[in-house]
Amino acid sequence: PKCKSTTVSSCPDLDVVFLLDGSGSMNSRFGTHPNGYYGMLEVLRDWVRTIPLTGDDHTVGVGSAVKGGSFRMTFVQFSLEDEYWVCRNGADGCKKSVFSWWSQTGCKQPRLPAGKTCSDGRLSGDLSELENDLDWHEANFMADVTYMASALKDAVDIFHDS
């Protein structure tokens, strides 16, 4: 656990779901980055490494006993109309879309390689899980059209389920 300033420790814990713009508009060069998407992930990676995290992994959910200015978070990438992408553990890397017809087309979302653990589409305060999430999103940039309704629905579900 990181030391916390008295300014932060008196604050409540905070849960954050980041919606990552995985659309083609983020595919253009951005400063020293090959594209804006990678630039955004680099900023998030630096931020995640410096803020006080709860230390709880994605399985803890609402049972977290941490109190006092710590964060839990997860990342949801949006782009395509029929799906949103989150880093998933296990053999089935997919969570079915809110769109009923999508379940008939199958899932195109890659899963996390064996031996690693990510937030699995839930809130996490574990640095290793969050870094694996960001690595996964960096390796799986959708770079397609802009459509975020399904990602917003997932963000609501994450808060409800965690």
Higher per-residue pLDDT: 79 or 95: 79
**pTM assigned to the model:** 0.77
74, β-bridge pairs: 17
Q: CA nearest 55: which of 133, 124, 134?
A: 124
- Please give the average per-residue pLDDT across 41-51, as a whole number: 94
Please, are residues 87 and 112 in contact by the beta-carbon 8 Å criterion? yes
Element of type H or E holding 76:
strand 71-78
Of 78 and 152, more confident: 78
